[in-house]
A and B are shown apart, each in its own frame.
Chain A
Amino acid sequence: MASLLGRFCRKLVVPGSAHGARMVSTTSSCGSETVKSLNLYSAINQALHIALETDPRSYVFGEDVGFGGVFRCTTGLAERFGKNRVFNTPLCEQGIVGFGIGLAAMGNRAVVEIQFADYIYPAFDQIVNEAAKFRYRSGNQFNCGGLTIRAPYGAVGHGGHYHSQSPEAFFCHVPGIKVVIPRSPREAKGLLLSSIRDPNPVVFFEPKWLYRQAVEEVPEHDYMIPLSEAEVIREGNDITLVGWGAQLTVMEQACLDAEKEGISCELIDLKTLLPWDKETVEASVKKTGRLLISHEAPVTGGFGAEISATILERCFLKLEAPVSRVCGLDTPFPLVFEPFYMPTKNKILDAIKSTVNY
C-alpha cells in the first residue's frame, strides 16, 4: 500500500530523441544550424522573442507576464520590446481573451497567456462563441486569426484540482479554432511559431511538468513545425500508441518495457489535436492492427474517444482488438490521490499486453 502511495516519478527522457529508435520526422531545418540545450520554458521564450522580433504588430499579454511570468516563459520580453507590446493585464480571463480577439480582428498578432489552463473557463465563451466563429459569421470579412492563447496544462505532481487539469477535449469540440500541444522543447518552439503565424486562432497548451524537466537541443534560428501533421516518433509493428504532450514520455517508457517482452510498439505524437492528422494514424493502425490512446484528461469524453471512433470507421476490418484508452479516471483531478488517478506506465503496459493478447 505504501508503495502505491509513494510518489511516482517520470523519467526525463524526451521521446523521439531516444537511442536506437529511428525518427521519422517532419521537422524542417536548414543547413548547418547552431543548437543549444534548452528546457521547455526557455524554448518557448525563444519562440516568443522571435515572434515579436519578426512581426512588429505582435503583442504578448496576460497576468504577470511583464516580469517573466510564473513559469518564466516571457522573461526578457518586456525589457526588449517595451511595455507597449508586452504588458500585464488585470485578473480577468474573459476580458483578456476578448481583448485579444479584438486586437487580432484589427490585424495584429495577439499572444495571450492564461496563467493555468484550469483558469481558462471564464474565457470559454469568448473562445467558443467569438474567436471560433468570427470569420464564419462575418462571411470572411473579419477574422481573429492572429490570436494565439497559451496555457500551461497537465499534472505536475502536486497541483491538485486547479493546477493540473487537461481541458483540451473541450476545445477540440469547437470548429474554427486549432488546438496544439507540443511534447518537448524543440517541438514547442517550432509549433508555437507556427501557431502564432497560423491565420487561425490557436489554443496552445504547454505541458507544465516539462517546463524545467525536459531538456533538449533546440536550434537557435527561426523555424516552424507544420500544424496538423502527426509524427511517428518510434516505429513498431504490433501496436500503435497515440498521445500528446507530457504523456508521451510515460508512453515511451511503456514502449521500452513492452519491447523487453517482445512487443514492438509504434508511438505517434499527434501534436495538433484539432484538426488532427487522421491519415498518419490510419496508416499506422492499418499496419499494426491495434490502437492504444493515452491522455491525462478523464477517459469519458476525452479526445481519445474521437480518435477511437474515427479509426474504427476507417480501419474496422484491419483491427485485431478493441481500441484501448488509458486515461485519467472519471473524477475531479485529485489532491493526495494523484498517483492513482494518472495513466501511469504500468497501466499503459498492462493495456498494451491485453490488447496484443486479445
Chain B
Amino acid sequence: MALSRLSLRSNRFLRPSTTAAALPSSIRRHVSTDTTPITIETAVPFESHLCDAPSRSVETSSAEILSFFRDMARMRRMEIAADSLYKSKLIRGFCHLYDGQEALAVGMEAAITRKDAIITSYRDHCTFLGRGGELVDAFSELMGRKRGCSNGKGGSMHFYKKDACFYGGHGIVGAQIPLGCGLAFAQKYSKEEFVTFTLYGDGAANQGQLFEALNIAALWDLPAILVCENNHYGMGTATWRSAKSPAYFKRGDYVPGLKVDGMDALAVKQACKFAKEHALKNGPIVLEMDTYRYHGHSMSDPGSTYRTRDEVSGVRQVRDPIERVRKLLLSHDIATEKELKDMEKEVRKEVDDAVAQAKESPVPEPSELFTNMYVKDCGVESFGADRKELKVTLT
C-alpha cells in the first residue's frame, strides 16, 4: 500500500531526469520523493547589472534536491573515472575535467527544457550528462570507440547530442560564442519560445568574438544567454592577470548581467530560470557563474603551479557543490546519511559498469576516416601504404 502510493508519486516527476533506474525500495522514503514545493534561500545574494536581481528564495522540492545530489555524484564519479582512465592511457589526447563545477550543469538543467539549446567549450563531459547523455556513450567517446556519442571521431572535446539540443563541445576557445548566438537567432525565427545558453570561460571572455556576438545579439534582441563559467583560471592564468575588468557579468556593457554563486545548484537554477524569462522578453543577458575546478586545466596540467593546494582544498571544504546539497538534504531531513552513502555507492557502480561496457566497444572502422566530410562524393582518391591496393574515394 505504502509502496504503491510511493510509486504513484514517482510517476509524477515531470522533469526529465538522468536517473535511469527507479529508486530501490531500500531508500524509498516518504519525504525523499516528495514533489511538494519547498523554498530555500541561496547563501550568496545575486549581483546584477542593468537589471533587477531575482529573489534569493528558490522554489524547489525534496525530489529535485535529491536528484541534484544523484546527478552531481554521477558527474563527479565520471570525471574521476576519466582521470584514472587517462592515466592508464585508455583515454588519449586531451581531457578537460569538470569536477567542482557540477552545480552549473545540474542547476541549469533544472531551469530549462531539452528543447532549449546548450553550447559549450571543451569542458563538456558533465554538460553532456546533464542533457541526458548516457555514461557509456561518454566513456566510449573518451576512449575513441564506435559507441561514443560522436561515433568515436570527436573525443573528449567534442561531445554532441542532437536530440537534446546539445550543440557540443568545442576545442577552439570562444569559437562557440557567435555560434550560440546564431542558434538563438534560429530559435527566434521559430517562435517556439526556446532559448540558447552559450557557455564560455573566463579565458574566453577576452576573445574579440564575444563582443562581436554580444553586439549582434543585443541589436537583434536574440534569446541568447551568455554564461561565463568563471573558474578563476584561464588554464594557468588567474583572472586578475588577464582581465582589466574581472566583473564578467558587467562586460556586456549595454547587455544586462547577473553574477551567481556557481557552486550552489539552487542559485544556478534560479538564475537560469530568470535568464530564460528575460531573454524571451528582452533579449540577451550575461550570467557570470562563480565556480571552481579541482583538476588542472587538462590532464597534462597538475593544477598546482599557479594555485596553492591549500586554495584547492579550501574550496573543497567550504564550497563543494555536492557537500552543500548533502548538508541541505540532511538538515531538511530529506534523506539520511546512510541513504546518501548508498546512493553514492550505486552511482559508483553505475559508472564502473559503464566503463566496462565502453571498453568492450570496438574502435570505428578505418573507412570512417573518410566519412562525414562532405555530403556528396567529391571523387578524390587517397592512397594507403600500398598504392596499388587501397584506394578510397572520399565521401
Contact = CB atoms under 8 A, between A and B. Distances in A.
Interface of A: 1, 4-5, 63-64, 67, 88-92, 94-95, 118-119, 121-122, 157-163, 300, 329-332, 334-337, 340-341, 344, 346-347, 350-351, 354
A118 B305 CA distance: 25
Contacts of B24: none
B255 to A, nearest CB: 20
Interface string B340-380: 00000000000000000000000110101110010000001
Given A335-B154, A341-B369, A354-B387, A330 B242 contact: no
A300 B380 contact: yes
B382 interface: yes
B153 A335 contact: yes
Contacts of B93: 158-160, 163, 335
Given A90-B242, A95-B208, A347-B385, 4 more contacts: A91-B203, A330-B382, A335-B154, A336-B152
Contact of B394 (A4, A118, A331, A351): A331
B217 interface: no
A40 B384 CA distance: 31
A305 to B, nearest CB: 14
A214 to B, nearest CB: 20
A119 B174 CA distance: 11
Contact of B153 (A163, A300, A334, A340): A334
Contacts, number: 108
A324 to B, nearest CB: 10
Nearest to B301: A70
Interface residues of B, number: 44
A91 B173 contact: yes
Contacts of A4: 366
B182 interface: no
11 contacts: A67-B305, A88-B237, A90-B243, A119-B173, A122-B207, A158-B93, A159-B93, A161-B155, A330-B373, A334-B153, A336-B363
A335 B369 CA distance: 9
A116 to B, nearest CB: 10
Contacts of A300: 380
B383 interface: yes
B369 A5 contact: no
A336 B153 contact: yes
Contact of B236 (A1, A67, A354): A67
B369 A63 contact: no
A281 B366 CA distance: 36
Contact of B144 (A161, A332, A335, A354): A335
